[in-house]
Amino acid sequence: MLKIRNLVHSLLKKYHIQLLLTIILGYCILLIILSSIPGNFAISSNPIDKILHFGAYGLLSLPLYFALSLQGKIYLFRKYPDVSTLLLVFTFGLLNELHQLFITTRTFNKYDLLANFLGSLLAIIVINISLKIIRLLKT
């Protein structure tokens, strides 16, 4: 059992960026599929819809933040993972809302876009607070 755990740990350490990117890509595909469902199956003007957007895009921000901060190719992403995450998640949300203009009975909703942004913002705030607490506990 210890050998398996060590193997998993070494693979995660070696391929953490690839794993995070796979999770992000899969989750983005899921969001696109869900937003492509015609309006009969979607909750459109219900406040629960905004809570779902808030949570979905907050959840998207978690692996994206860590992938950006751990990668080594794009300096600005690594130096400013919080701003980069916000911009990338907002852009994805905007493109997803624009894509809904082409789906029967779906529309562009600026409040969905706001909920997406606020969910991402809260996730980044929670990450930053958590990282500060972890640093304080280590010292």
Domain count for the chain: 1
Please state, in angstroms and rounded to a whole number, the distance separating the CA atoms of residues 53 and 113. 8
Please state, in angstroms and rounded to a whole number, the distance separating the CA atoms of residues 35 and 81. 26
pTM: 0.84
Domain containing residue 80 = 2-138
Please state, in angstroms and rounded to a whole number, the distance separating the CA atoms of residues 115 and 61. 13
If one compares 129 and 41, the residue with the highest pLDDT of the two is: 129
Q: List the one residue out of 52, 75, 78, 50 whose CA is nearest residue 64.
A: 78
Each residue's pLDDT tens digit, 26-73? 999 999 999 888 765 445 567 888 999 999 999 999 999 988 988 878
Each residue's pLDDT tens digit, 73-111? 888 988 999 999 999 999 999 999 999 888 888 888 899
Residue 39, SS3? coil
Structure confidence at residue 135 as a pLDDT band (50, 70, 90): confident
